[in-house]
Amino acid sequence: MSEEKPTFITAGEEFDRDMTYIPDRITHEARKPEHGPVEGELWPVEPGRYRLVAAPACPWANRSLIVRALLGLEDVLSVGLPAPTHGPASWNFDLDPGGVDPVLGIHELREAYDARFPDYPRGITVPAVVEVASGHVVTNDFPWITHDLFFEWRDHHRPDAPDLWPDDLREEMEEVMDRVFTDVNNGVYRCGFAGSQAAYERAYDRLWAALDWLEERLTDRRYLMGDRLTEADVRLFTTLARFDAVYHSHFKCNRNKLSEMPALWGYARDLFQTRGFGETVDFEQIKQHYYVVQSDLNPSGIVPKGPDPSGWASPHGRERLGPSGA
């Protein structure tokens, strides 16, 4: 495969994320899950059988690292951490000794995809769950990976794990998460990878309308769903954690910084200082990934020194809105 840098922008067009993933799911005793589609194979939950490959640089993978930590699944689901920079072919394990994942024994994640689907035709994405014994990728369907870690791995959760999907909030959660995904999580990409001025401005306006809505929503509630930490918070956090370091400048989302929005900035710091969140965030890897790999936007490959991340550890004062959710 060519070693030319990947291209993310199509001239004159809006950015359209490919949401086609391997549809297999890992469920309790390979049962049919209560929620969501069953379009692929069902695999049984088994401690030690699978390895979660999740690059800290990637916001979609960062979700899975946070949920794994919140639920206390570290001893039953091992994790491989790809390097932040890569060529067009695949995420790699250049940070591991010899550039090889110590459990899977592979140099690139593509090897696990090709082992199951020879010459896999789509993008090699993280997070991905790989069966250790066979070396085959099982799924890379990131929304369902975290969903199923909660619903299907319950027997292995830590006793005080938070209820990330409260039954009485699920309908409203789905509505909130849909807007967060469309206008914020993916909205920053629609700004950054817009192929025209008009497409960029449409994405920009939708992004900031959503962020203003979230700022208002979080002014008098500690979490998106009130006084309970849920997966909705995990999904929003990974974008907020990257906002000032990357999206503000690199993706031209520059009306203002996250640190200039009192409620959102306090909320983001509150989560960062919560068990399971901050320890999964690596700001240097985040910057290396975006500014080096996305050469369409940054052809020099120069990685900014700032911003200073120390503010993430500063007091957030949101205890007044209710007890911690984790």
Which sequence positions are flagged as catalytic?
58, 189
Tokens, residue 125: 């994405």
Asked if 79 contacts 52 with a C-beta cutoff of 8 angstroms, the reply is yes
Separation between Cα atoms, residue 179 and residue 185, nearest integer Å? 9
φ/ψ of 70, rounded to 5, equals -60, -35
Residue 44 identity? P
Tokens, residue 323: 């007890």
Separation between Cα atoms, residue 174 and residue 197, nearest integer Å? 31
Quickly list DSSP for 23-38.
--EEEGGGPPPSSS--
Q: Is 60 one of the annotated binding-site residues?
A: no
Taking the C-alpha atoms of 47, 53, 55 and 60 in order, what is their torsion angle to the nearest 10 degrees? -80
Which of 180, 295, 298 minimizes the C-alpha distance to 231?
180
Taking the C-alpha atoms of 304, 306, 309 and 315 in order, what is their torsion angle to the nearest 10 degrees? -150
Asked if 182 contacts 168 with a C-beta cutoff of 8 angstroms, the reply is no
Separation between Cα atoms, residue 258 and residue 307, nearest integer Å? 12
Taking the C-alpha atoms of 260, 265, 269 and 271 in order, what is their torsion angle to the nearest 10 degrees? -160
Q: How far is CA 285 from CA 7, 44, 245, in A?
A: 20, 33, 11
- Residue ranges for the known binding site for glutathione are 91
